[in-house]
A and B are shown apart, each in its own frame.
Chain A
Amino acid sequence: MDFELTQEQELIRKTMSEFTEHEIKPIAAETDRTCAYPKGTIDQLFRYGIMGMSVPKEYGGSGADDLSAALAIEEISKACASTGDIVATHNGLCCGPIIQNGTEEQKQKYLRMLTEGGKLGAFCLTEPDAGSDASKGTTVAKLEGDHYVLNGSKIFITNGYAAEVFVVFAMTDPSKGTKGISAFIVENTFPGFSVGKHEEKMGLHGSPTAEIVFTDCIVPKENLLGKEGKGFKIAMQTLDGGRIGIAAQSLGLAEGAMEEAVNYTKSRVQFGRPISKFQNTQFLFADMAVSIEAGKLLTYQAAMRKTKGQSFTKEAAMAKLFCSEAAMHITTKSVQMFGGYGYTKDFPIERMMRDAKITEIYEGTSEIQRVVISNQIL
């Protein structure tokens, strides 16, 4: 497989690297400290076409390929994984299923909102008793005349209290199990829609996570996404694509942490020499570099297969599994290299370690990734 980036992909990487250095990195610590949604940054990312970048041109996007989208998230996440998460969720989990399953009218209306309209998107699947086992959701949708009535609640919704467009999964026929799940496009202005608890999290403080509550929520019939009963399939397809985004986010985190550690160990002098001169440090960096390179190959491969229309379920799960575990390992080892300073908020490395943990959990835990991969083998 040829991993040489195209000219356009090189420029996407370059522009996002410059944007991250000048616009995101300087506020990343403050975003974490204040748990503030970085609206100014996201508005700029809308302006530059990063938000919804894979949406086809005829619906307001740029028609970017999946590798370009992954590169953008990777670059952003080098400095701020929260911002990377917001972008990955908007692009992969909200725009993605509408691009794949929307009617012409839905695409014209909602994809334009999610690109030119500057409205943030979210994805509502998880419920209190339906996490890894997404088939056990209890949110229901009942057709009444020209609209559905939704009742139930969703938790841990990324972009929850900042988003205006939601892809929501609900049971239209509970007797059919996963085949009774349907997908809907819901706006935050629909009657009966409300935002519940804002989550206080270990990391990703800038990423607005919340509970979303539907109380007799009125959703027009034409907002059914795909056909009734096809929701579970849409959710699984969407998560396949979303995993490439989380792999890219994890990669960025790992690269950002390693860069911080390299700079620190070159300047930190102990026992008469920079600690980068000790073989223990050098071996750690060698192993980190190998993991990052392997993660890139897995992630870029999955992205390229998706763009080519090839199956990518296994590859995306491998990329997400490998990169998220590499991010956790590399950020943890980086904190160790910083010693006591690494445990303080004077350096970004403790934030990176806290941010990394969730990558092993959301959009399918590491254990679920292993289930997905083994299912493709056995």
Chain B
Amino acid sequence: MKIIVSVKQVPDTSGKVAVNPDGTLDRASMQTITNPDDLNAVEAALKLKDETGCKVVVVTMGPPPAAGMLREIMARGADEGVLVSAREFGGSDTYATSQILAAAISRIGVEKDDIVMCGRQAIDGDTAQVGPQIAEKLHLPQVTYAADIQKTGDTITVKRMLEDGYMTIKVKTPCLLTCIKELNTPRYMSVGGIFEAYGKPLATFDYETLKNDPLIDPTTIGLKGSPTNILTSFTPPQKGAGMMLEGADKASCEKLAGILTAKHII
């Protein structure tokens, strides 16, 4: 059994967001972090590794520095890393990205007992599309918004967290799960993990590696092949600080009503 976790390096949104002339993110000039939901997927995989001893492979598509993120995840406990990186893949939207990642995951190999895990969505695009699209391309059953995962034999019981409640679904492996932050608290890198991380296998899949995969259509990858067109990108103006009123008594309500009236909101 193995778990393949798809992760993404994203801009640290606590810093300044920079945009290229073509509307895509200028990732080189920004501080980066591992997408938070993806760390929940990594933690879910590592917990299953703790329980079953299975292998955890972490895969990402991105520029060469994304290898550093893979090493950090290996320092948390993942066994292997795969960096999918090529100029031809640059600027891909979710449709193109999922195609390339599906091909990479297919090359890593999805066996009967395996699970593919993704974060729900990345904080840069916020689409939540890549995980489900990978599942479709690999013909895997998918369960999104996983808030709890229990494995018994080849059956995974997933508690999905929806806006208005929970849904419990049983799914057989192989399958793809997308994970949310409520699922767990990601562990930190350990000292032992850090000293082992740079000795673990890290493969790079470039265009040559994947171009003949049946899942890859050269006309629908990269910026040119992506059906999404970005009209414009900009940093939204900063909102003013909010105001918190505490209390549930009449005086607090009157104070709130007074403020809203003064601003001509009510």
Chain A residues within CB distance 8 Å of chain B: 7-8, 11-12, 14-15, 18-19, 47-50, 53, 57, 62-64, 68, 72
Contacts and interface: CB of A to CB of B under 8 A. Distances in A.
Contacts of A48: 188-191
15 contacts: A8-B198, A11-B72, A11-B75, A12-B194, A15-B75, A15-B188, A15-B189, A15-B194, A48-B189, A48-B190, A48-B191, A49-B192, A49-B193, A63-B195, A64-B191
B192 A62 contact: yes
B188 to A, nearest CB: 5
Contacts of B71: 7, 11
B196 to A, nearest CB: 9
B188 A68 contact: no
A62 B195 contact: yes
B259 to A, nearest CB: 25
- Chain B binding surface, main DSSP class: helix
Nearest to A50: B191
B42 interface: no
Nearest to B198: A7
Residue in A8, A12, A50, A63 whose Cβ sees the most chain B Cβ within 10 Å: A8
B5 interface: no
Shortest beta-carbon contacts, A-B, top 4:
A49-B191, A15-B189, A62-B191, A62-B192
B189 A11 contact: yes
A79 to B, nearest CB: 15
B188 A8 contact: no
Contacts of B188: 15, 18-19, 48
Interface in B55-90: 71-72, 75
Interface of B: 71-72, 75, 188-195, 197-198
Nearest to B185: A22
A18 B186 CA distance: 12
Nearest to B75: A11
Contacts of A68: 191
A50 B189 CA distance: 11
Nearest to A18: B188
Given A11-B75, A11-B197, A19-B188, 17 more contacts: A7-B198, A8-B194, A8-B197, A11-B72, A12-B191, A15-B188, A15-B189, A15-B194, A18-B188, A47-B190, A48-B188, A49-B192, A50-B191, A62-B194, A63-B195, A64-B191, A68-B191
B47 to A, nearest CB: 14
Nearest to A22: B188
Residue in A15, A47, A68 whose Cβ sees the most chain B Cβ within 10 Å: A15
Contacts of A50: 191
B181 to A, nearest CB: 14
A213 to B, nearest CB: 35
Nearest to A45: B191
A47 B187 CA distance: 10
B66 to A, nearest CB: 15
Contacts of A62: 190-192, 194-195
Contacts of B191: 12, 48-50, 53, 62, 64, 68, 72
Contacts of B190: 15, 47-49, 62
A8 B189 contact: no
A229 B140 CA distance: 70
A173 B169 CA distance: 74
A258 to B, nearest CB: 21
Nearest to A47: B190
Nearest to B187: A48
Nearest to A16: B188
